[in-house]
Amino acid sequence: MKCSFCDTEVEKAVRGPGMLFVCLECVEDLSVAEEKDIEGKCSFCGTEIGTVKGFFRSRKIKAVALHPINGTILCNECGKLCRDIVKYQVEA
């Protein structure tokens, strides 16, 4: 499989919907990535980057990864999910 963010062919990756993959190195990078406000939607969960109004409180959705060419976006919530998945897999 090919990582959707760094285009590297990898054996292990976190799989998103469709053919989206985040390699373990990119997941690692997410923990130090700067959260960005950009125009667009997360390619994994489809949430619009920006403020999402909830019933009780609003959530700030920011992009933590963005592919410079194909525009694949990963939001901070999916980034956290990816880290949790990797952590679980490593510890299991």
Q: Which residues bind Zn ion (CB under 5 A)?
A: 3, 5-6, 23, 26, 42, 44-45, 75, 78
Q: How far is CA 44 from the centre of its chain?
A: 7
Please give the Cα distance from 29 to 65 (Å, whole number): 9
Nearer residue to Zn ion within complex by CB, 4 or 56: 4
Nearer residue to Zn ion within complex by CB, 20 or 23: 23
We find the least distance from the C-beta atom of residue 92 to Zn ion, in angstroms, to be 22
Please give the Cα distance from 66 to 9 (Å, whole number): 18
Nearer residue to Zn ion within complex by CB, 75 or 86: 75
In three-state secondary structure terms, 27 is helix
We find the least distance from the C-beta atom of residue 42 to Zn ion, in angstroms, to be 3
We find the least distance from the C-beta atom of residue 8 to Zn ion, in angstroms, to be 5
Please calculate the CA angle 20-83-87 and round it to the nearest 5 degrees.
120
